[in-house]
Amino acid sequence: MGHTGRVDWAPGYRELAPPDALRGELHCLWVSVGPAAGGAQTRVLPDACTDLIWQSGVGVYVAGPDTGPAPTGSPAGSVFVGARFAPGAGGAALGVPLSELLDRRVDGADLAMVPARQLPGSLAPQEAMRRLARIAAQMVADRPADQLVLEAARQLSRPGARAELIAGQLSISERQLRRRCQAAVGYGPRMLHRVLRFRQFVSLIDSAGGAADLAGVAAQAGYADQAHLTRESSRLAGLPPGALARERAGVRERAGVR
């Protein structure tokens, strides 16, 4: 199943909805086009996802789950096309325990389940998008995700969720849940909860733009207080929340995103 919709190839980053049948296991498809001159630096934040990425002139690689900020450079004129596996789906699709890919970027040729030869860097971006979408769909169809971990991720994404209670709610031991999460996500349920809560905070400040009320957003995302949010933002993003909100607002402004 390939992507057949229209794609905007202007400089910038944009996400595309996956096919309806795959929304449980594919978070999105995406494209990122570098500026014509000068290149760009991006602060990639932990999101509990794993990405299969094609880069023009390079080929395909996998971005494993992050536990902290990952500065990423985009050379001038470069094009990236990605398929982002939902939290809990990447390990099965890639056929490797994601704990082995934690905070790593791995050449697709080094992973047996990635058909790297089908995604050479010489492809036109439109063809790379078509092939990547089809390949990602086939990967999740051939190796379905651990449904228990997908459910754990859904529950842990809710404000007020408590990681220590999830195993009992799923009728599984804490040890079994931790082992299955490490294979499917890359880390255990406590870290998964922290990352998903922080992802919710980032979504909220992106929606609010420069007008974000950090104390209110902290409570909405499920943090005990603003001090708790500040500690987590410093650990997961490398910046306190106010500085992170300003940085992301600046990136959106330069890209013309409202």
Domain-wise residue ranges, the chain: 12-142, 147-255
Mean pLDDT to the nearest integer, 232-247: 95
- Rounded to whole angstroms, the Cα distance separating 30 from 15 reads 4
Q: Which residues of 84-107 are buried (b: 16+ CB within 10 A; e: fewer)?
A: bbbbbbbbbbbebebbebbeeebe
Top CATH class of 12-142 equals mainly beta
- Rounded to whole angstroms, the Cα distance separating 41 from 59 reads 20
pTM of this prediction? Answer: 0.92
Tens of pLDDT, residues 87-96 = 999 999 999 9
Tens of pLDDT, residues 98-124 = 999 999 999 999 999 999 999 999 999
Q: Per-residue confidence at 39, pLDDT binned at 50, 70, 90?
A: low
Mean pLDDT to the nearest integer, 235-246: 95
- What are 142's two structure tokens? 């051939």
For the ranges 5-9, 66-70, 205-209, the maximum mean pLDDT occurs at 66-70
147-255 adopts what CATH topology?
Answer: Arc Repressor Mutant, subunit A (1.10.10)
258: pLDDT strictly greater than 50 = no
Which residue shows structure tokens 């031991």? 173
pLDDT at 32: 94
- What are 186's two structure tokens? 């890359």
Which residues have a Cβ under 8 Å from the Cβ of 169 and sit 6 or more positions away?
155
pLDDT at 255: 57
- Give 18's DSSP letter: P
- Look over the chain and give the mean of its residue pLDDT values, rounded to a whole number: 92
- Give 20's DSSP letter: G
